[in-house]
Amino acid sequence: MAIELGQADTAPKRVDAPARPRLRLDMRIQLGSSAIGVNERMLFTERLVLLLDTGVSLVEALKAMQSQTEDARITAILGSLADALSEGKSFSAALSRHPEMFSQTYVSLVGAAEEGGFLPQVLQQLHSMDEKHTQMRAAIVSALSYPAFLVVFSIVVVIFVLVVIFPKFHDLFESMHGDLPGPTLVLMFASGFLRNYWMQTALLAGAGLWWLLAWLKTPAGALLIDKLKMRTPLVKDIFVQIYLSQTLGVIGMSLANGVPVAVALKASQDVVKNAIFGRFLESLRINVNEGRGIAAGFNESAFVPPMVRQMIATGEQTGNLAKVMTRVADFYARELNRRITIFAKAIEPIMLLVMGVVVGLIVAALILPIFKLSRAIH
């Protein structure tokens, strides 16, 4: 961006900003019962950058955005920001009053930009970071949506066959009970159980699902999920790439804008919601505090790819750590999209095959007794 904001409008002294801010980038934040998501923050940042690039002062830009916004929540936040700036507070201090929309990462980087006089550039970088995270999340959801649909559809088909189709053959199968194959007997039992105890089954399944979801929110359940993410073959590689992309992107951007290494590492810990990966990041912070450097921590980790270790070591030696981390983060973001695409293409035929096998077994359990009875009659 070509325009830099004057000190009077955009970079007052940061009297209210904390000395060692905690950085955090949340994809979705709660405000009472309503949620302000990353899309709203992206729109705010993009519009603000456009207005600042035209030479409008920060206060005027916020007031203009307030008059053009229909969402009452965003309007109230914009009004509060404009009032705080009019009172002489810094932009970062004003943003820190609204954690429901602005993460600590956002606030701290804006504060660093105010001190350096390059607010539009940092706002553009924050918008790009949110955009990358949104695209990554959309790619993952898109890759998993079709397999999830196939699983649900298969379950519905199986229940339909057991509840609607099997009862039509009940009398026939009962008459030849002793000669029925094992799969047919199992499906007959399942069909009768579902028809006779459907309410109890539904209540039990609902209670079981509720208990499972509640348990997964406990520390023990969350830790189990984190371990599965980091240790399950194939899945592990995808999650490691996600965490590395997010972590290196935040650290690289923070370092490039003057945020201390220790604070940047704390930011990456808050970004990645995985206890196992968080221990690795904590070890990095300990290495930095002990003066060993950040590259030593990467070299000690078993799940960090050799290429990343070499790049981080080179960046630390040459003093280009921020640039190197940003490039590695971008590389892994592209690699992740490619891997997710391959994963989605590979899992679709597998799911169709599994679905076909399940349906085929059910059909065979229906047809085999009929063939057997037909041969006996002839």
Q: Give the C-alpha separation, 9 to 153, whole Å.
A: 58
The continuous run of DSSP H or E covering 36 comes out as strand 34-37
| Separation in Å, CA 173 to CA 192, 361, 367 | 12, 17, 11
Using DSSP, state whether 304 is helix, strand or coil.
Answer: coil
Q: Give the C-alpha separation, 232 to 308, whole Å.
A: 21
In 3-state terms the chain splits into helix, strand, coil percentages (rounded to 5) of 80, 0, 20
How is residue 75 written in tokens? 């309007």
More confident residue, 194 or 203: 203
Q: Among the listed ranges 81-90, 143-152, 362-371, which one has the minimum average pLDDT value?
A: 362-371
Query: Does 70 score more than 80 pLDDT?
Result: yes
7-117: which CATH architecture? Up-down Bundle (1.20)
Query: Does 258 score more than 50 pLDDT?
Result: yes
118-378: which CATH architecture? Up-down Bundle (1.20)
Residue pLDDT, tens place only, 153-170? 888 888 888 888 878 877
Going by C-beta distance under 8 Å and a sequence separation of 6 or more, which residues neighbour residue 158?
Answer: 358, 359, 362
Residue pLDDT, tens place only, 205-255? 899 999 999 998 898 988 999 998 888 887 888 888 888 888 888 888 878
**What percentage of the chain exceeds 70 in pLDDT?**
87
Q: Give the C-alpha separation, 110 to 259, whole Å.
A: 11
Burial of 320 (0-12, 13-18, 19+ CB in 10 A): middle
pLDDT value for 69: 85
95 in Cβ contact with 107 (< 8 Å): yes
For 325-346, what is the mean pLDDT?
82
pLDDT value for 338: 83
Q: What confidence tier does 7 reach under pLDDT thresholds 50, 70, 90?
A: very low
| Separation in Å, CA 325 to CA 82, 276, 280, 328 | 35, 21, 16, 5
How is residue 138 written in tokens? 């959309």
Query: Does 356 score more than 70 pLDDT?
Result: yes
* Sequence spans of domains, the chain: 7-117, 118-378
Query: Does 6 score more than 50 pLDDT?
Result: no
**Buried-state track 208-232, b at ≥16 Cβ within 10 A, e below 16:** eeeeeeeeeeeeeeeeeebeebbee
| Alpha-carbon dihedral sign for residues 73, 79, 82, 86 | negative
| Alpha-carbon dihedral sign for residues 178, 179, 181, 183 | negative
Query: Does 26 score more than 60 pLDDT?
Result: no
Q: Which of the 8 DSSP states describes residue 162?
A: I
Going by C-beta distance under 8 Å and a sequence separation of 6 or more, which residues neighbour residue 284?
Answer: 265, 294, 297, 298
Mean of the per-residue pLDDT values for the chain?
79
Which of 33-47, 144-158, 160-174 has maximum average pLDDT? Answer: 144-158
pLDDT value for 210: 94
In DSSP terms, 37 is beta-bridged to: 28
191 in Cβ contact with 162 (< 8 Å): yes
Q: What confidence tier does 96 reach under pLDDT thresholds 50, 70, 90?
A: confident
For 2-16, what is the mean pLDDT?
37
Going by C-beta distance under 8 Å and a sequence separation of 6 or more, which residues neighbour residue 86?
Answer: 59
Q: Which of the 8 DSSP states describes residue 100?
A: T
pLDDT value for 79: 92
In DSSP terms, 29 is beta-bridged to: 36
Phi and psi for 35 in degrees, rounded to 5?
A: -115, 135
More confident residue, 13 or 65: 65
Phi and psi for 101 in degrees, rounded to 5?
A: -125, -35
Residue pLDDT, tens place only, 297-331? 888 888 888 888 888 889 888 888 888 988 888 88
pLDDT value for 16: 42
Residue pLDDT, tens place only, 266-302? 767 767 778 888 888 888 888 888 888 888 888 888 8
Longest Cα–Cα distance in the chain:
100
For 356-369, what is the mean pLDDT?
80
More confident residue, 270 or 128: 128
How is residue 45 written in tokens? 């940042």
pLDDT value for 375: 67
How is residue 168 written in tokens? 């039509």
pLDDT value for 14: 39
Q: What confidence tier does 378 reach under pLDDT thresholds 50, 70, 90?
A: low
Fold match flag (7-117 vs 118-378)? yes
